[in-house]
Amino acid sequence: MAKVYCEICGASLVSSRYSTLYTCENCGMKYTRTKVRKMLSRGPRFRTANVGDPTELEKWYLELDKHIGNENLKDAEDVAQRILEIDPEDEKAGAFLDSLVKMEKEFRVERGVLVKYSGSDAELKIPGGVREIGAKAFMDNKSLRKVVVHDGVKSIGEECFSGCSELKEVSLPEGVTFVGYRAFANCEKLTKVNLPDSVAFLGNYAFLNCAALKEIHIPKRVPTIGKCTFKGCRSLTEVAVPRRVKGICDNAFRDCVSLKKIGPLDEVMFLGENAFLGCDSLEDITVPYRFMNNGWEKYDGSYTPPSDIIL
């Protein structure tokens, strides 16, 4: 039978007359006969190996860096295996393959959807190949402090990062169009998150009780600021409302006690109940006259109520 190499460390696989399994002679990884047949059907991974050849290694290092930079992990894995065939002790290739094993263990990805993360890293970069972060994928993770989402991800699922109590920073790429219900709810230490203008849907309760969040960019494609979206964001001081926004729903900014300025509201056609309840620091807001006599008089600095009306 043609020689087959371990997908973890690159060493040769050996068979046993007493077992249907093939075992790596270096790391002990076991493979079934079905798996080995599939590996053989792909043909030999590498045609030649000049052991210890520094020129050969340098060429493959460049290839490895290129594929890693492009997040093409499959080709990067093949190149790392090639390097280990030349030098079985190579630290760079070995470390990369170790990281792949760790990733496969901690990330559950199904058809481009990151279903669940079970690791404990403080800083995390979403792996290549992920197009969508699924509902509750990181929910209640107590280790995460920073997350970088790569280009190609289009959707942040419902309750995706909800309850990540140590999370402080999230970087979203241009191209994300959907941020789901309670996506960042109860991330009490979250101070920085960039919402790109590609976002067209911002779910209800998305930033509920993000008490440390000091600023937020409302994407220009969002038509409505939903129910309780920023309720309890006690550190928010100023919010610019894009002209496309036509509605601010119930409790949207409730208890944003540090909020001093929000607007303009000229194009807003609907203001929900208690949208600014508890926003006692508001000092610069102009409410369109169509909302006068509907409980909004007290937010308009140019409005002087009759002496017999108590606001």
**pLDDT surpassing 70 at residue 162:** yes
Mean pLDDT of 251-269: 92
Query: Mean pLDDT of all residues in the chain?
Result: 83
Q: Estimate to the nearest angstrom the gap between the alpha carbon of 137 and the chain centroid.
A: 10
Q: Residue 224: what pLDDT?
A: 95
| Residue located via tokens 């979403």 | 126
- 162 to each of 36, 139, 196, 201, 283, how far by Cα in Å? 42, 5, 20, 17, 31
* CA dist., res. 259 & res. 278, Å (int): 10
* CA dist., res. 196 & res. 187, Å (int): 19
Greater confidence (282 vs 38) lies with 282
Q: Contact 242/265 with Cβ under 8 angstroms?
A: no
| Burial track 28-61 (b if 16+ CB lie within 10 A, e otherwise) | ebebeeeebeebeeeeebbeeeeeeeeebbeebe
Domains and CATH numbers, the chain: 13-102 (1.25.40)
**pLDDT surpassing 60 at residue 42:** no
Q: Residue 17: what pLDDT?
A: 57
Q: Is the pTM of this model over 0.75?
A: no
**pLDDT surpassing 60 at residue 282:** yes
Radius of gyration, CA atoms only, the chain: 27
**pLDDT surpassing 60 at residue 238:** yes
Share above pLDDT 70 across residues of the chain, in percent, rounded to a whole number: 83
Q: Residue 1: what pLDDT?
A: 43
| Residue located via tokens 């994928």 | 137
The residue count of the chain comes to: 311
